Amino acid sequence: MKNIKIKKGFTLIELLLAILLVSLFAYFVFATPTPVTAAKEEVNVTNLPSYLQRNLPGNGELVCIKSNERCSDCYYFTPSGIRDYSLPLSLKINAEYTLDKNNNPQKIDLGRYKDKKVCLRLRHYKNGSISQIILNVNNKFLFIPSYFGDGMLFDSLNEAGDWWVRESVNALQNRSEWY
């Protein structure tokens, strides 16, 4: 009778080949990015403030310039640099207002960027708040609150300014609730 050797295991080459095949399979299954089709949030004029408060990254300033009469080309300035910011809403912003020391609406000159007129400038703070302003959007006046919440649309600039003052007084009266 002949001595027949019975193989009791795998050779080193067979093991390396098996590891290579498993690694390649894992790479193609797990490392390939799969496109995620998340439902896009619908942004309109009144929920623009809360959208920006939730989606602006970190501490910086959002600056949008007019392109084809729309306020759509936006940039986000942070201490670490500038990046393009895609705003999912193309607004026709005609002017931006703040309140002066007598609580009267005062038009703000926003300057220019890339030799185009700036149509929106919002500061985003570390605590999540944004600049409190009034925007003239499509011949309506949008009050943007500094803290979370949707904006309020008004037919006149004076109505929006009065709302701003009323909200500020209410916030001061209720500040004991914050502590």
CATH of the domain at 80: 3.55.40
| Residue span of the structural domain in which 163 resides | 48-174
143 - beta bridge partners? 134, 152
Mark out the alpha helices in 32-156 (DSSP H runs).
48-55
Answer yes or no: is 5 within a domain.
no
Q: What is the pLDDT along the chain (179 residues), one digit of tens a residue?
A: 566 666 677 788 888 899 999 988 888 777 655 544 444 566 666 777 777 777 777 788 888 888 777 777 888 888 888 887 777 666 778 889 999 999 899 998 988 888 888 888 888 888 878 888 898 988 899 888 877 677 888 999 999 999 888 887 776 666 555 44
Answer yes or no: is 4 within a domain.
no
Q: How many CB atoms lie within 10 A of CB 140?
A: 14
Q: What is the model's pLDDT at position 19?
A: 92
Distance CA 121, CA 124 (A): 10
For residue 52, give the nearest of 121, 140, 117 by alpha carbon: 121
Distance CA 160, CA 150 (A): 14
Inter-residue contact 134 to 164 (CB < 8 Å) = yes
Answer yes or no: is 3 within a domain.
no
Answer yes or no: is 21 within a domain.
no
Answer yes or no: is 28 within a domain.
no
